[in-house]
Chain A
Amino acid sequence: MKEVTIISGKGGTGKTSLVATFASLAQNHILCDADVDAADLHLIMNPKILEQYDFTGGRQAIVDHDKCTDCGLCRQYCRWEAIAESYTVDSILCEGCGVCVYFCPEKAIDFPIKTCGEYYISETRLCPMVHARLGIAEENSGKLVTQVRKTARDLAEKKGMGLIITDGPPGIGCPVIASIGGSSAVLVVAEPTVSGIHDMDRVLDLAAHFGVPAALCINKYDLNVAISEKVREYAEKKSIGFMGAIPFDPAFIHAMVHAKTLLEYDSNSPAAKSAIELWRNFLQFVDNGY
């Protein structure tokens, strides 16, 4: 079984629209939405939820005011300044480290496990899908990413499916690290802007840091052809597989508005044709390497 993760560093380069497009092209596959912070793939895939699970992340300190003697030790030890003078814990600042709980001489601090989201196994018109919803302003998104990917792997194994296509989050921090570790390959979606190049460079460094094979493609290449050419040269210089370039095409937005994949919306659009070729190249990369 292979798992490919689509990432970009910079947000809004078209990861999710491309993942949905690949879902129309791949066979014997599962979709996995690892962008749990701002999950969008379900807006195109319209999944029917078959199984739903609570995601429990960290713990949270809660002071029992009947037992608290206002001794101040917890406030002194808390490095997050999460405990107010009134000895109430700010749930947003609390890191869940439990130092206050451990040292409270009155055992006046409870430390319950928090439910910070949900994850789902679903069926869609194209393939099974595993996805999640992280509660607003919750933490532990990396842990939820790990949970979602594990669920997708178990499901793929159970159903005898050979490929998982994972939609990754933007950035290079905790949820991205959680979404690429152990992946067969990542596809980096760059855009031809100074920000796009800067962020692509960092996320490729991240993939190299964790030893995950990486390939590159450009979306909206014609918004700045000169920068797109630089991206190609960069790929060549660094021996990174270049999978293809997709033109700026409002068909992506129209497809999204109609909750369709690009191929379902208009398989003859210029972007669709480039995406088909891109997917073919990437599958070869995954099977044979660069």
Chain B
Amino acid sequence: MIISIASGKGGTGKTTVAVNLAACLGENAILLDCDVEEPNAHLFIEPEMRLSVPVTTPVPEIDENKCNLCGKCEEICQFKSIVIVAETVLTFPELCHSCGGCFLVCPEDAIHERPRELGVIKVGQKDGLEMVFGKLRIGEAMSPPLIKRVRGYESVDKVTIIDAPPGTSCPVIAAIKDADIVILVTEPTPFGLHDLKLAYGAVKKLGIPCGLVINRADLGDDKVKEFAGDSQIPILMEIPFDRKIAEIYSRGGLLVNEMGGMKGQFLDLYNKIRELVQSHSGSGL
């Protein structure tokens, strides 16, 4: 089972839900931090790292001895990463999407692919819980290819928990696509509600079942609950605002280890998630 934790708005508690859920399940789970721009889950899990794998994407390199400036590569490139200026082929590797078009189209075999560094993937474990996270290189614009590579570590035997990035565009899609369920974490404020609607739109577009966790449930207003009711999104858990929770989170602690009753609440969340996934697979979704 693949559970993706997403939110639309940032800072609503995705990571809190992901790490506590994963910590409860221990060796039965693998936690993938797909918020590769700002990965945080490892700060809470504190895994012993055993692997660090550089991740690259292929970009063109021009062999000037073979190039006859025919211009076909410039013509096929949709991303303006190859431009011919005054009898020189200029490449802008940071704009390249690695589609391979220039490489395929070159009649002179003058284009080779070389790697551009996207970032690293780190693999480790803590008390039987496996954890993998991606870390985007500073200055690198494209996170989806790295997210896809982190998702390569999904497990068929274990529960895969994905901590997704905020927003609703390509990085989020890369982190939730083909999940069995998306857990949307929100806060009951106007910003939280607005971004929840966007995230829910993305989840619906992908046809993935979803459930809701409302964090800091007693701050703000009732409109998130009204929306959940109207849209028939099941509310799976509510976490109150509590300075103790904020304090534990602030220093990287786990609620399931430090607050009585929390482990039971997160196991309860897991059971509800499992039931929801089963009910959807039963109905053919």
Contact = CB atoms under 8 A, between A and B. Distances in A.
Given A79-B98, A92-B173, A192-B250, 18 more contacts: A11-B11, A12-B10, A38-B8, A38-B168, A38-B194, A38-B195, A38-B198, A59-B78, A97-B78, A97-B79, A136-B168, A136-B201, A170-B37, A172-B37, A191-B11, A193-B249, A202-B138, A256-B220
A194 B221 contact: no
Nearest to A12: B11
Interface size class on chain B is: 35 or more
A38 B189 CA distance: 14
Given A40-B195, A172-B37, A206-B138, A224 B189 contact: no
A139 interface: yes
A49 B38 CA distance: 34
Contacts of B44: 194
Q: Is the interface of B mostly helix, strand, loop or mixed?
A: loop
Interface of A: 9-13, 16, 37-38, 40, 43, 58-59, 77, 79, 92, 95-99, 102-103, 134, 136-139, 141-142, 169-177, 191-196, 198-199, 202-203, 205-206, 209-210, 223-224, 227, 248, 250, 253, 256-257, 259
B142 interface: yes
Contacts of A248: 246
Interface string B102-130: 00110000000000000000000000000
B169 A141 contact: yes
A74 to B, nearest CB: 12
Interface of B: 8-12, 15, 35, 37-38, 40, 43-44, 76, 78-79, 97-101, 104-105, 136, 138-143, 165-171, 173, 177, 189-191, 194-195, 198, 201-202, 205-206, 219-221, 243, 246-247, 249-252
Nearest to A16: B191
Contacts of A177: 139, 141
B275 to A, nearest CB: 27
Nearest to A223: B246
B101 A171 contact: no
Given A172-B38, A195-B40, A224 B247 contact: yes
A13 B78 contact: no
Given A198-B38, A223-B250, A137 B206 contact: yes
B38 A257 contact: no
Nearest to B195: A38
A13 B191 CA distance: 13
11 contacts: A10-B11, A12-B11, A38-B195, A43-B191, A95-B97, A137-B202, A170-B11, A193-B251, A194-B44, A210-B139, A256-B191
